[in-house]
Structures are given as C-alpha cells and as structure tokens.
Amino acid sequence: MKQSSLPFLSLRKASFRLGDRIVFENTSWVFRRNEHWAIIGPNGSGKSLLGEALRGQLPLVQGELSYHFRTPPGLMPEESIGHMSFEDRRLDVQEMVVQSRWNSIEEESALLVRDFLSFEQVMEINPFEVRDPDDLERGRFERRRRRAMRLSRIEPFLDRTLISLSNGERQRVQLARALCRPLRLLMLDEPFVGLDVGTRKYFHKLLNQLMRTPLRVLLITARIEDLPRRVTHLLFLRECQVIAAGPRTKVLALPVVKELLAAGRKTSVSHKPADSGPVAAAGKGLLPRARTQKRQPRNPGGKSSGKPLVQLRKVTVRYEDRVILRDINWTVRAGESWALLGPNGSGKTTLLSLILGDNPQVYGNDMAVFGRQRGSGESVWEIKRRIGWVSPELHLHFDDEATCFEVAASGFYDTIGLFQKPSRQRRAAVLEWLAEFQLLEFVDNPLCALSTGLQRMVLLARALVKRPQLLILDEPCQGLDPAHRDVFLEAVDELIRTGKVTTIYVTHRKEEIPRAVKRVLRLRGGLAQLF
C-alpha cells in the first residue's frame, strides 16, 4: 500500500456518549493521508458534535478512535488537531469590545495581535511552570509563526488591538494562531460565516494552499457551495448518523444530498429581489446611478410617508487616528425596509451600535432615535425597549440550559436570560409568537437541544414579542442550512410585506436578502451610498 493512502484517522464501530444518550452509534470511517474531507449535513445533524468526538471531547464508550499520525514530542494526538469555529473566532474579547466602546483607554490597553501570537500565548505556557522551553522549541515555533503570518497576511495589523479588528481580520488572526502550533490536522467549523465576498475568495485560496502541504484539513459546513475545490471526500450526516461517506462527486450525486442542494436553489430563487430593484443592483455590484450621499435625494428608493425612526446627520466615528464612519447621513422611516451592506471592516457593526445605544460617540454626533435627540436625557433601555435584535453574537451568549420559552420571554426585558416572571399577557404573547413559527412543541426544551436553524427562529420570536418599532437583523442566516434559511427568510419577508415592522437587514450574501427589502445603505471606507 502506498504511504499516501495509509489511514490518517479512523473510527471502527465507535459510539460516543453525549449526556445521557449515545450518538454516532457503531460508526466506522477511514480518513486517509492523501485525502481532505468535509462533514456536511443539515442543521441538527451532528456535524460539530462529530468534530468534538474526533478531538476527544466526547467519551468513547465503544469501538475505536485511532490517530495514525506521528505527534511532536510531548504532545498527545488530540493536541495536534487545530480547531476553528465561530465561537473560537470571538477570541474571548466580547467583554473587551463592549468596554472599549465606552472607554478608549480600554482599547489602548487591550491585547495586541503581536502579543496574541506570542510563544507564551499560543503554546499556553504557564508562567509558574518550572520547565523552561529550550531554544530549539522556541526556534521551531518562530518558524511556524513567520509562515503563518505570511500565509494569512496579517503583518499590517500586528500592532493593532484584537478588539479593533473586523470580523474578516479577526478570522485571519485566529487561523494564524492555529497554524503557529505543531498541527497534523486542521478542523474548520463553518469557516466562511460572516465574511464578505472578497474575504471568502481569499480564504478559499488560502485553504487550497494549505491542502497542498502535509497538513490535513477537515471542514464542517452546512453550505455545499462553500466547499474548497481541493476537498476530495464528503461525510454526510443526518440525526447523528453517517448516511454517506466517500469521494466528493459520488456523495454529491446521491438523492439525499441532491435534496439538500435543491433547497439551496429554492432559497436563492424565491428570495432574490427583482432584477430591476435597488437591492438586486447592490447585491451584484452594478450600481450605475450610485453617488456619494451628498448628491442623493432625501428619500432614495421611493417615497415614504412614515415618521423618522432613526436620523443621522453627518455622523462621524473615529478611534484615535482611525475613522470608522465619516459624515453619514441616513434616515430610516416607519414602514421602510433597508439592507445594510458593505465589506468586513466597513463600519456596519459600529453603525448598529450607535442605533442600539451601545456606543458613547453617539453623544458627540447629531443623531435622533424614535424622535428623541440623543443626549437629551433618554436612557439606553428606553431605546432598546422599542428595538428587536437578532445576531449570531447574541445567539452565542445564551445559557445552554435556558428553555425556548425563557429565551423568547427575555425579549421583553432585553436581558440574556429570564430573571423575572412574565405577566399572563406576556406569557400569552410569547406563546403566540412561538406558535407563529411552529415552535410550540419546543416550549420547555433547552435551546441547545434544537438545531441551529430552530434556535435562530426562537431568537426571532424573542425579538418580536414586545412588538418593536424597529427590527435589526444582523447576519441572521449565519450557520443555517438551505432548508432553514428558506423558513427564516419566508418569516422575515412576511413581516416586512405586511408592514408589521420597520427592518434593517445586514448580510454579506445577496441571496439572503428578503424580497420585500426595498432600500440599501452600502458602507465602504467609512462612507455611505444610498439606493
């Protein structure tokens, strides 16, 4: 047998324990040295769970999990497996991000990218450990570090703080950090979520480069269209069982996988805006009439008789020498639907933080929300009570054991968790919205027991229970498979078409913009264009 076709990692009649149940019972699978695999399947199929099992994070109760690769001295096989996911890419700086908005000193004192990639940080060296790493170990690390920085092109922001990075920049840093370790396998769980078109293309190129090296790559994704071309084999899961495993072309030809692909085509057809509409033009980058804000009519995209809910007049946000937003003029009126577009780092999150009341620079700008000039004595909580919000970051903050009812009901109080008993009227409203999205059967289930798609629907119910005047949806379809995207987009489209809520919708994927969205604000380089 050729050396390249020898097993790299294998399962033989393996079963794993998750809490009080057995998952992937009696599973056999061989990952060979000349292969690159992707684990695919719908939400709730167990893709990330299998990844955890392969990294030794779940107890093996039967059969064998074997690592057939050599490990560096002093490392266990599991320690030679790198892992990246959306949760990892937060870099554990969520609290610092919030604080930095309120105090520039926090940002100045926050961890620099250079320090985050230091030997002590990456290798998790205990400062009180007696053993002192030798020069050879440090030398090997430095060679890996230089190569990782070159591949991920992060040299330009080594002296920036982690909390100042855009989502795409942060992902590049996280990948560089993983490559600084002596890895044999790199496991990437939904590596393209939250990335703009240009950054996704760059990551495809980077992954294809890595796949030409001895490092093996295992992807986990619900989006078949995101698979790099060098992925050779697919493992298709459903309900924590392996349905199919083998060469990419053969697995994609199976009827059960074709069904998943068909759902994706249905999404892109049923939800793409009309070809002549402003959103379609913005999504394709064909904007012949686009001009800077100063030359735009007051209400682009058609007349609106609604009263202004959000008004920004020459709003500028800067941190030291970096200008994030420059002279932004924007009015959102009741009943309107807007797509907020722009590449990673263009200022979308900063703009939303101004509206949500999470950024203190709102007080140095001319801005009104719900008719109240900011800085006129209103409280942040008065504003939040009238805004519904859904985002992947919000999703990550909820306790795994919170029930679907508790998560939805917390929307009345704008809290991450339910800390008071809702009134009878509010309980009825929660049940009404859960019923609207066909979630009543999950009322008492922990949120974590649902698939990612259903969890996102619970969060939409949470945003709507208080009947907000403004609904902000920030990348709401991240991590959803095609079928769940269909359901979610249909729900949002219905809300917009019936005029139940004014909407700001943020996405990097044009096929995820609901049909009913009629207006576009595009950010680029701190400036804005309206369509």
| Phi, psi (rounded to 5 degrees) for 341 | -120, 165
Give the confidence band of 380 by pLDDT, cuts at 50, 70, 90.
Answer: confident
**pLDDT, tens digit, 9 for 90 and up, residues 9-45:** 999 999 999 988 999 999 999 999 999 999 999 888 8
Question: What is the rounded distance in angstroms from the CA atom of residue 267 to the CA atom of residue 490?
Answer: 9
| pLDDT averaged over every residue in the chain | 83
Indicate if the pLDDT at residue 300 is higher than 80. no
| Closest C-alpha to 521, from 323, 322, 332, 308 | 332
Q: Is 418 helix (H, G, I), strand (E, B) or coil?
A: coil
> 287 near 347, Cβ under 8 Å?
no
pLDDT of 277: 40
Q: CA-CA distances (angstroms) from residue 30 to 33, 66, 107, 246, 317?
A: 10, 10, 47, 10, 53
- Among 21-30, 96-105, 209-218, 306-315, name the one with the lowest average pLDDT: 96-105
The model's confidence at residue 302, banded by pLDDT at 50, 70 and 90, is: very low
State residue 399's pLDDT score. Answer: 81
At residue 3, the 3 state secondary structure works out as: helix
Which band of pLDDT confidence, cut at 50, 70 and 90, is reported for residue 271? very low
Question: What is the pLDDT, as a whole number, of residue 87?
Answer: 64
Q: For residues 65 and 20, is the Cβ–Cβ distance under 8 A?
A: no
Per-residue pLDDT, 127: 61
Averaged pLDDT, 147-164: 88
Altogether, the residues listed in the chain come to a count of 531
CB 251 within 8 A of CB 245: yes
| Helices within 271-379 (DSSP H only) | 278-284, 348-356
Q: Cα–Cα distance between 250 and 237 in angstroms, integer?
A: 15
pLDDT of residue 138: 86
Q: Summarize pLDDT for 106-138 with one digit per residue, the tens.
A: 444 578 899 999 998 888 776 666 556 677 788
> Which helix (H) or strand (E) element contains residue 408?
helix 404-409
Q: Write the pLDDT tens digit of every residue in 234-254.
A: 999 998 999 999 999 999 999
Q: Which residues pair with 15 in a beta bridge?
A: 62
Question: Residue 231 in contact with residue 516, Cβ under 8 Å?
Answer: no
What does the DSSP 8-state code read for residue 347?
S
Q: For the chain, what is the radius of gyration of the CA atoms?
A: 24
Average pLDDT over residues 433-453: 88
Q: Alpha-carbon distance 112 to 392, whole Å? A: 25
Report pLDDT for 148: 93
Q: Are 520 and 337 in contact (CB under 8 A)?
A: no
Task: Please state the rounded mean pLDDT for residues 430-451.
Answer: 90
Q: Where are the alpha helices (DSSP H) in 16-134?
A: 47-54, 86-89, 94-102, 104-109, 113-116, 119-122
Q: Please tell me the predicted confidence (pLDDT) of residue 446.
A: 92
Q: How much is the pLDDT for 128?
A: 60
Given a cut of 70, whether residue 283 has pLDDT beyond it is no
The mean pLDDT value for 441-453 works out to: 87
Q: What is the pLDDT of residue 366?
A: 92
In whole angstroms, give the CA distance from residue 443 to residue 379.
Answer: 32
Round to whole Å and give the CA distance between 531 and 520.
Answer: 5
Summary count for the chain: helices (H), strands (E) = 19, 19
pLDDT at 90 over 70: no
Q: Tell me what pLDDT residue 311 has.
A: 95
pLDDT for res 109: 52
Rank 130-134, 176-180, 193-197, 382-386 by mean pLDDT and report only the highest: 176-180
301 pLDDT tier (thresholds 50, 70, 90): very low
> Residue 162: what pLDDT?
83
pLDDT at 422 over 90: yes
Q: What pTM, to 2 d.p., does this model score?
A: 0.81
Q: Check if the beta carbon of residue 387 is closer than 8 Å to that of residue 356.
A: yes
Average the pLDDT over 148-163 and give the result: 88
Residue range 454-506, pLDDT digits in tens: 888 899 999 999 999 999 999 888 878 888 888 888 889 998 998 888 999 99
Q: What is the mean pLDDT of residues 426-450?
A: 91
pLDDT digits (tens, 9 = 90+) for 304-315: 568 999 999 999
Token pair for 50: 């299998």
Please compute the mean of the pLDDT values over residues 96-107 and round it to a whole number. Answer: 40
Give, in order, the Cα–Cα distances in Å from 281 to each of 274, 275, 285, 339, 496.
Answer: 9, 7, 6, 12, 20
Beta bridge partners of 471: 388, 503
